[in-house]
Structure 1
Amino acid sequence: MSEFFDRVKHDAFKGDYLTRLLYLNIAVFLAYSLTNAFTSLFTGDFGLIPNIADDLLALPSSPFRFALRPWTILTYMFTHFGFRHILFNMIILYFSGKMLMEYLGERRMLALYIYGGIGGGVLYIILYNISPILTSGSMVGASAGVIAILVAGALYMPNMPVRLWGIFEVKYWMLAAGLVLLDVLNLTSANAGGHIAHLGGAIVAFFFIRSMRAGNEWNVYLFQIIDFVRSWLQPQQRKRKKGFSFGERNYKKSGTKATSPKASNSDDTARMNEILDKIKASGYDSLSKEEKAFLFKISKD
């Protein structure tokens, strides 16, 4: 049993970014569910914890409320109030995240999750304040970031075969296009906010991949922010305490070499694109040992 808890602790604090995203979402859901269960049991008030969680963690559609709770643009994407909601999101996150990390690396996967969540949240607030048929409310869920990861994978590997329920095989782009189409068709449904957030995540994914192909890596900006916040919270002279840190893994400050980081990144991106094009055309097994090693190295940078 101790080995199990040691493994969980290791994965939660030092695993890859996908694993830590899964653990964080599940941890928030369990904390909410257990607190709600015990509070309801001893107080008889079934709405106390849901109301507090909605007020502190959910993203409000009102710009005024959001201005008073700016942190909700991040907290909402790690918060779920229902079991089916988190189950569906985590299943898609796991499989789409695994595929994306294999070819583009875990840092891009994390950046897509965060940027997609922010983009979905921003579009949600905008449309809820300009549409006459959408009433004010709040939103939680990881689906905007999850859809961003899925759509990005489909844009970069459109012909990758994907099996649905282990039975039907479709192209990756077909799956992504079908989900986006469903979101468009359900913009006026009861869950309009969720579908709007999905579209926001898909839009972010499109520009993320487009920018990456042009040699502009958005994930660099995210990790610069993470590194700045971590250094501000923890002075360099103090030894880093153990804890959950997205910015800890696989991010290193640039050294003092005279080589240009931009030129190096551009060359690596160009070669990686050539390798990925080869994979899409002939499959992963067609790569040479050198190409496989380079792809593995890039995914860990």
Structure 2
Amino acid sequence: MNRLTDAIKHLIIINVIVFVAPQLLQLDFSNILALHFPKNEHFGIWQYITHMFMHGGFGHILFNMYGLWAFGTPLEQMWGKKKFLFFYFSAGLGAGAIYTLVNYYQFNGIYELFVNAGLNPSEILTILESGSTNDQRIVQNITQDQFNKIIGLFNAKAVGASGAVYGVLVAFGMYFKDAKLALIFFPVPIAAKYFIPGILAFDLFFGMTDYSVGNIAHFAHIGGALIGFLIAWYWKKNQFKRFN
């Protein structure tokens, strides 16, 4: 069994505290710590960090912390604590940034329809904040699906370490490509070099279609994986020395 390395141990402890404490105190910190859409009144730049320590349920945090431990341990042993933490937070920040950019792109496409219908920014913001309207300019020019989509984007709250963990997963696959991995529902071991691209392909498919399974930020996963790949590729190519 992998030894629990220092950085991963502390990351898991912080994640568990942030998950358990609000439940014990019966407080909801999601408006403060979850990652919101930039135009939402609850958005704060610090949320690009804090959202990585929040989770939506026991299964969510269990899966992420297991992935962090299983795939991150050999990386921290190889890189050292400081280098691993730099990598982890870079992947998490990249995940949040790409998630926001994709949401912004989708949001602006529908926002332009509001503008073309004759609404000014103040009117649009009021409608987005209320989540409903009887304005005939909206009724006549915006479909219900489009309206639901922009309301969902405006009010979206992203939580979880998944983006950072996906970066860790990709780096693991680059350094340990022949390691055998298996899913609970598909227990046949598959080499990391095939297993990880397969998972990313599913995320890309679900992110670009309406077939998503559950409330999952697929492009946060893709973003974390992309940033993780770029950093790990650069380090591997240049063979950076370990630093503690």
The two structures have a TM-score, normalised by structure 1, of 0.58
CA distance 1:106–1:161, shift in 2 (3 Å):
farther
CA distance 1:214–1:174, shift in 2 (3 Å):
closer
- Does residue 198 of structure 2 align to residue 178 of structure 1? yes
Percent of aligned pairs sharing the same letter: 27
Shift of 1:59: 0.5
Contact 1:89 1:146 in 2 (8 A): yes
Shift of 1:158: 1.5
**Corresponding residue for 2:139?**
none
Shift of 1:56: 0.5
- Does residue 104 of structure 2 align to residue 81 of structure 1? no
Instruction: Kindly provide the CA deviation profile for residues 112-134 of structure 1, in whole angstroms up to 9, marking residues without a partner as x.
Output: 22011100111111111111556
- Secondary structure in structure 2 of the residue aligned to 1:170: strand
| Aligned counterpart for 1:200 among listed residues 223, 239, 244 | 223
Matches within 5 A, 1:231-242: none
The two structures have a TM-score, normalised by structure 2, of 0.70
- Does residue 99 of structure 2 align to residue 124 of structure 1? yes
Partners of 2:227 and 2:41 lie apart in 1 by: 24
CA distance 1:108–1:168, shift in 2 (3 Å):
farther
- Secondary structure in structure 2 of the residue aligned to 1:168: strand
Partners of 2:190 and 2:81 lie apart in 1 by: 25
- Equivalent AA in structure 2 for residue 211 of structure 1: Y
Instruction: Kindly provide the CA deviation profile for residues 11-37 of structure 1, in whole angstroms up to 9, marking residues without a partner as x.
Output: 9xxx6101000001001101111112x
Aligned residues: 193
Partners of 1:56 and 1:125 lie apart in 2 by: 17
**Corresponding residue for 1:58?**
34
Instruction: Kindly provide the CA deviation profile for residues 90-149 of structure 1, in whole angstroms up to 9, marking residues without a partner as x.
Output: 111110111322333333322222011100111111111111556221111010011110
Contact 2:14 2:53 in 1 (8 A): yes
Matches within 5 A, 1:8-23: 16-23=6-13
Instruction: Kindly provide the CA deviation profile for residues 56-88 of structure 1, in whole angstroms up to 9, marking residues without a partner as x.
Output: 10011224647x511111000011131111111
| Aligned counterpart for 1:156 among listed residues 164, 169, 175 | 175
- Secondary structure in structure 1 of the residue aligned to 2:177: coil
Partners of 1:186 and 1:192 lie apart in 2 by: 11
Matches within 5 A, 1:255-266: none
